């Protein structure tokens, strides 16, 4: 069985890859923890819950280029989440 293709990352966005050993009922709780544990973007590692809520409200959080909601469920395995408006500092093309 092959892995599904990796969706393209929108230009000017920061991608966080979630690799879950279990299904999770809510994206917001998993995402805030993953952002706090990453070290590629300091602003995002210090993101408040209020700011995360604002990003969801403004449709700046995407999965497969579709707006995600805080209550979006996540399947076991890999999910690519893109945060629009946060260029990845490790990407030389940004």
Domains and CATH numbers, the chain: 13-84 (3.10.290.10)
Q: pLDDT tens digits for the chain (94 residues)? A: 456 689 999 999 999 999 999 999 999 999 999 999 999 999 999 999 999 999 999 999 999 999 999 999 999 999 999 999 998 877 766 6
Two structure tokens written together for 61? 């959080």
Two structure tokens written together for 52? 């995360």
Pick from 14, 66, 22: which is nearest to 42 by CA? 14
Sort 79 into a burial class: Cβ within 10 Å, 0-12 / 13-18 / 19+: buried
pTM exceeds 0.85 for this model: yes
């Amino acid at each position: 069985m092959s892995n599904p293709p990796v969706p393209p990352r929108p230009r000017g966005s920061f991608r966080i890859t979630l690799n879950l050993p279990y299904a999770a009922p809510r994206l917001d709780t998993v995402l805030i923890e993953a952002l706090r544990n990453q070290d590629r973007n300091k602003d995002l590692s210090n993101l408040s819950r209020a700011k995360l809520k604002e990003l969801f409200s403004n449709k700046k959080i995407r999965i497969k280029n579709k707006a995600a909601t805080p209550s979006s469920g996540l399947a076991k395995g890999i999910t690519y989440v893109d945060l629009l408006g946060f260029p990845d500092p490790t990407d030389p093309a940004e």
